[in-house]
Structure 1
Amino acid sequence: MKYLALIALFFLVACNQAKETKIDEDQLGFIDADLHSDETNFKMKANFNEDKPEVGITIERSFENAPPMIPHTTAGFFPIKMDNNICLSCHMPDKVEESGAREISKTHFQTWRPQLVLKDGVYSNPKEDDKVYVKDVKDLNMAYFNCSQCHAPQADVTIDIENLFTVEFREKFGIKESNLQDNIGDGVNN
């Protein structure tokens, strides 16, 4: 009985201490505003690039092999669907000479998924090594049909948070071009 009373006392003290250190959820975040209120006035909203295609200025990549940002307006482009993607009308390899657009990366014409083997009701990878499986495909890999999943429109935004990230590229051209296709296995093999 003596031990039970001691445990109960310990539990009550621990609960009281937990209440004292609790932070109200409304106090979390970078700004002191109610995000759900129509009355909230943000000092600055994002000013998205309104340039037409072929006119926009491409900003440099944020890190090595970062997906390039979209340097032109995307008004009317969304929603992007598998059977309705306006981006492909300019960025497919057979359209870039006519449109002057940047060609879709060769990685978008590859699959990195192994052909699994069904044995005794279990699918398994037939290759038991540590190599990355890469196979070229004739058509656009539809895992990449939603361009805006990785590529974002450029915007002029001011953020009051200091950015301490330092960009380092292994190759001089990395700030403008991707070498992902050549380095896809980095980190897999020792």
Structure 2
Amino acid sequence: MKKTLIGVTLAALLAGFIGCNSTSQLVSMRGDGVELPDHAPVSKSYSEKTPGVGDQRLITRTFLTQPPLVPHAIEKYVPITYDDNGCLECHITDELRGKKLPKMGASHFSKTVLDEDGNPAVEMSRYQCDTCHVPQVDAKPLVDNVFNGVTKR
């Protein structure tokens, strides 16, 4: 019993020693050595598209429950506050000035609270639009990715 314990302990130590000494230089996913300082990727600007101007297509979702992505710049609409939510100017309805727009989903409205016009009010837990709905940058992925999303049932 004692010889077996000593043998297993020595084998584990030997395997650990050999394993630590035989490893190659660690390399990060970016291809740089891990001891080198990180370099931030080049800053990319968000879509320069202006809401309501030109031909804007909806961005395809990657998975079934993904919130819709914003296909236009949002700089002039943030910060979103209780008194000033620029998103609601267009997306409270499904059409504005003869153009079809994505309307806020029913889940974003209160079932009990009504606004001044008697319509369901926007639920306060869903008021901060840019928490879930984000603009997109046309950028190359930092690492290779073979993910294929599923957006149809």
Q: TM-score by structure 2 length?
A: 0.61
Match of 1:52 in 2: 50
Distance 1:99 1:155, change over 3 A: farther
1:51 Cα deviation from its structure 2 partner = 1.8
**Which runs of structure 2 are paired with 1:99-138 in the superposition (5 Å)?**
101-109=101-109, 136-137=111-112, 138=120
Distance 1:17 1:85, change over 3 A: farther
Runs of 4+ in 1 over 6 A off after TM superposition: none
Gaps spanning 5+ residues in structure 1: where?
Answer: 111-135, 171-190
Aligned residues: 137
Aligned to 1:70: 70
- Equivalence for 1:143: 125
> Aligned partners of 2:98 and 2:127: how far apart in 1?
19
In 1, Cα distance between equivalents of 2:37 and 2:131: 24
Within a 5 Å distance, the mapping from 1:15-30 to structure 2 comes to: 15-19=16-20, 20-21=22-23, 24=26, 27-29=27-29
C-alpha separation in 2, matches of 1:102 and 1:22: 53
Seq. identity, %: 24
CA separation of 1:22 and 1:106: change in aligned 2, threshold 3 A? farther
Q: Which runs of 5+ in 2 are unaligned?
A: 113-119
Superposed displacement of residue 15, structure 1: 2.0
TM-score by length of 1: 0.52
Contact 1:70–1:153 (CA<8 Å) still a contact in 2? yes
